[in-house]
Amino acid sequence: MTIPKEIVDKMKQVNSLMEEIDKWIEENIDLDGSKHNHRQWMTGDYKHPDWYQFTDKASGEEQFDGEYCDQWSVGESGDSFEGYYYYPTENGGYFYFQYWM
């Protein structure tokens, strides 16, 4: 599956809007070091990470239709997995997300 340009553009718009909202919250609400939904502690500060991640190059093994999966085993018994899954986009590059199971 290839993600259409229209959807990629909307994903990037969501990222931009969430960044704008987070900046407004930080400037107008006293968070007093607390965190709220969609903020993560990064480099000594709470930051809003992008909801949708993009990269120019996928990693891992090719699956089908140009999709890639970069997966590794976690946990004591080795039956849990996490990794990244990459979908090609019409814009070029890849949309990716982290998963765990």
Q: Return the pLDDT at 52.
A: 84
Higher pLDDT among residues 65 and 38, named by residue:
65
Q: Model confidence over 1-53: pLDDT tens digits?
A: 899 999 999 999 988 888 888 788 778 877 665 555 555 655 666 566 667 88
pTM score, whole prediction: 0.71
Q: 51-84: string of b/e by CB count within 10 Å (b at 16+)?
A: ebebeeebebeeeeeebbbeeeeeeeeeeeeebb
Q: Return the pLDDT at 33.
A: 58
Question: Where do we find the tokens 């900046």?
Answer: 23
Q: What tokens does 24 get? A: 């407004």
Q: What tokens does 79 get? A: 């039956």
Average pLDDT over residues 71-77: 86
Q: Return the pLDDT at 74.
A: 87
Q: What tokens does 40 get? A: 């993560």
